[in-house]
């Protein structure tokens, strides 16, 4: 559906149409005035000319209003009715009424000029040009029809040049009007296409944003709730085994760890429900990593697979290096990388020792996670990068999720592994590119 637009061309078109109607009204009124002041006309002729002029004016206004209404409805796609045949018939009636008025009084001669514009606007091009020529010939030759002695008529140059120049001007302005009209329609089509493209782009951006948000939430859930719930499942299995064997002390410790892990996951879930935002760190990065190592070590011990996990902090000031100046996104990403890496270690590596090294430097921050587990070959990388499997065998994001986090901050993530010698995951995130 096309819609009108406030362009310069459309404004010019509207001005021309209004000017044409005003010219018709002024010349019609002038014809009535000339007729009333003509001393050669009888009273009956003057009354007839006045009534004829009123009838012509009313007929002109009604036809113009209906033509504009249907033309606007067609442009807006609200009707398929074509008013052109009726407009041609209406123009024929207008010209006929004008001829009648001309017979009554020559004061209506000047109405020929707006009639020429109307013919050029309503009729097809060839028919319109023939009509303009006929009106011009009629106007120039009309004095011969009003007198009984045509030889007594004297044609001055003005009587001939006036209608001829008027016809030429009408033709030129009509073609200019049509060119402007076509340009306005072209601009309207371009505007419609632009609006359609903008709507499509907005829809695509909305869809992209929705998918990106889903991806972000999936990463957050995988790196927090999924891993925590998986740990609870594994610790529950170990607790059941310890209970069957009568190791009540280990059962008590394991239940305490299960309760702690469940409480932390419940807090994470509540943060998601509260604002669907990325869970924020409750503490600084270094204490959070230290607690992560302690919890991982305790959980593995409860499962009967002892694993030592140590944290080391490097940087400009060594162990005293602070992470307070790090951007929140960077600290969040580093914590999730640590969580995901240790989860993969406990699920796949069969390691007995892991070490987490945080390096905070002037231009970048690094995080290295080492384990002395079974390692893997490059061919096994796809298996290792699959996320921590849950009890039903479903997998999540794993190393792919970690890489996505690092790349989003302009960093890199590398994995080095040798069968039987363990694995090292290294994340490097620049600080100079972040605000």
In a domain, 186, yes or no: no
Q: Are 70 and 84 in contact (CB under 8 A)?
A: no
The pLDDT of residue 329:
85
Tell me the pLDDT band of 281, cut-offs 50, 70 and 90. low
pLDDT number for residue 357: 93
Check whether residue 104 and residue 212 sit in a common domain.
no
Residues 143 and 215 occupy one common structural domain: no
How many domains is the chain built from? Answer: 2
In percent, the amount of the chain with pLDDT more than 90 equals 9
Q: Once rounded to an integer, what is the mean pLDDT over residues 91-108?
A: 86
Q: Does 145 share its domain with 209? A: no
Specify if 180 maps to a domain.
Answer: no
Q: What is the pLDDT of residues 184-197, one digit of tens each?
A: 778 878 888 888 88
Q: Which of residues 302 and 196 earns the better pLDDT score?
A: 196
Are 343 and 405 in the same domain?
Answer: yes
Span 110-122, pLDDT tens digits? 888 888 888 888 8
Same domain, residue pair 273 and 217: yes
SS3 annotation, the chain? CCCCCCCHHHHHHHHHHHHHHHHHHHHHHHHHHHHHHCCCCCHHHHHHHHHHHHHHHHHHHHHHHHHHHHHHHHHCCCCCCCCHHHHHHHHHHHHHHHHHHHHHCHHHHHHHHHHHHHHHHHCCHHHHHHHHHHHHHHHHHHHHHHCCCHHHCCCCHHHHHHHHHHHHHHHHHHHHHHHHHHHHHHHHHHHHHHHHHHHHHHHHHHHHHHHHHHHHHHHHHHHHHHHHHHHHHHHHHHHHHHHHCCCHHHHHHHHHHHHHHHHHHHHHHHHHHHHCCCCCCCCCHHHHHHHHHHHHHHHHHHCCCCCEEEEEEEECCHHHCCCCCCCHHHHHHHHHHHHHHHHHHHHHHCCCEEEEEEEECCCEEEEEEEECCCCCCHHHHHHHHCCCCCCCCCCCCCHHHHHHHHHHCCCEEEEEEECCCEEEEEEEEECCCCC
CA–CA distance, 315 with 408 (Å, rounded to integer): 23
Q: Which domain holds residue 27?
A: 8-155
Tens digits of per-residue pLDDT, 7-32?
A: 455 565 567 678 888 888 898 898 88
Q: What is the pLDDT of residues 117-175, one digit of tens each?
A: 888 888 888 888 898 898 888 888 776 666 555 555 555 666 677 778 878 888 888 78
The reply to whether 103 and 225 lie within a common domain is no
Taking alpha carbons only, the member of 421, 422, 423 closest to residue 413 is 423
Residues 400 and 274 in one domain: yes
Residues 6+ apart with CB under 8 A from 334: 285, 289, 326, 358, 365, 367, 427, 429
Asked whether the beta carbons of 430 and 411 are under 8 A apart, the reply is yes
pLDDT of residue 202: 77
Q: What is the pLDDT of residues 336-351, one digit of tens each?
A: 888 888 888 888 888 9
pTM exceeds 0.85 for this model: no
Residue 194 within any structural domain of the chain:
no
What is the residue whose two structure tokens read 């123009």? 91
- Looking at the structure, tell me whether residues 207 and 275 fall in a common domain: yes
Domain final residue pick, 100, 121, 155: 155
Of 433 and 376, the one with more pLDDT: 376
CATH assignment of the domain containing 361? 3.30.565.10
Do 245 and 132 lie in a common domain? no
pLDDT one-digit tens code per residue, 231-249:
777 778 777 877 777 777 7
Q: With the C-alpha atoms ordered 135, 137, 140, 143, is the resulting torsion angle positive or negative?
A: negative
Looking at the domain assignment, is residue 387 inside a domain?
A: yes
Name the band, by pLDDT with cuts 50, 70 and 90, for residue 389: very low
Q: Are residues 268 and 412 in the same domain?
A: yes
């Amino acid at each position: 559906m096309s819609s009108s637009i406030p362009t310069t061309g459309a404004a010019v078109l509207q001005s021309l149409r209004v000017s044409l109607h005003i010219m018709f009204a002024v010349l019609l009124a002038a014809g009535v005035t000339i007729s009333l002041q003509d001393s050669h006309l009888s009273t009956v002729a003057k009354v007839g000319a006045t009534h004829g002029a009123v009838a012509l004016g009313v007929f002109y206004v009604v036809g113009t209003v209906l033509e504009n209404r249907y033309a606007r409805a067609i442009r807006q796609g609200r009707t398929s009715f074509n008013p052109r045949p009726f407009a041609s018939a209406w123009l024929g009636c207008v010209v006929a009424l004008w001829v009648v008025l001309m017979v009554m009084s020559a004061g209506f001669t000047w109405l020929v000029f707006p009639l020429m514009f109307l013919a050029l606007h309503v009729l097809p091009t060839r028919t319109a040009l023939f009509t303009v020529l006929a009106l011009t010939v009629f106007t120039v030759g009309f004095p011969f029809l009003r007198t009984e002695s045509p030889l007594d008529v004297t044609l001055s140059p003005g009587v001939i040049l006036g209608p001829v120049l008027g016809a030429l001007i009408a033709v030129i302005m009509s073609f200019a009007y049509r060119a402007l009209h076509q340009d306005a329609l072209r601009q309207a089509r371009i505007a419609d296409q632009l609006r359609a493209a903008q709507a499509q782009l907005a829809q695509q951006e909305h869809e992209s944003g929705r998918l990106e948000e889903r991806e972000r939430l999936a990463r957050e859930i995988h790196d927090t709730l999924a891993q925590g719930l998986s740990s609870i499942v594994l610790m529950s299995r170990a607790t059941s085994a310890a209970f069957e064997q009568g190791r009540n002390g280990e059962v008590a410790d394991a239940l305490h760890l299960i309760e702690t892990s469940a409480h932390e996951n419940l807090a994470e879930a509540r943060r998601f429900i509260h604002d669907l935002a990325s869970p924020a760190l409750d503490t600084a990065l270094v204490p959070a990593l230290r607690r992560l190592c302690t919890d991982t070590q305790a959980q593995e011990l409860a499962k009967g697979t002892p694993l030592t996990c140590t944290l080391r902090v490097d940087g400009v000031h060594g162990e005293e290096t602070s992470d307070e100046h790090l951007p929140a996104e960077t600290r969040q990403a580093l914590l999730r990388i640590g969580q995901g890496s240790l989860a993969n270690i406990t699920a796949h590596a069969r390691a007995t020792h892991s070490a987490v090294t945080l390096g905070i430097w002037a231009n970048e921050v690094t995080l290295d996670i080492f384990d002395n587990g079974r390692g893997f070959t490059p061919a096994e990388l796809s298996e290792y990068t699959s996320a921590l499997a849950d009890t039903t065998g479903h997998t999540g994001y794993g190393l792919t999720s970690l890489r996505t986090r690092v790349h989003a901050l302009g960093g890199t993530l590398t994995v080095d592994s040798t069968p039987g010698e363990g694995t090292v995951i290294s994340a490097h995130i620049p600080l100079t590119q972040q605000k």
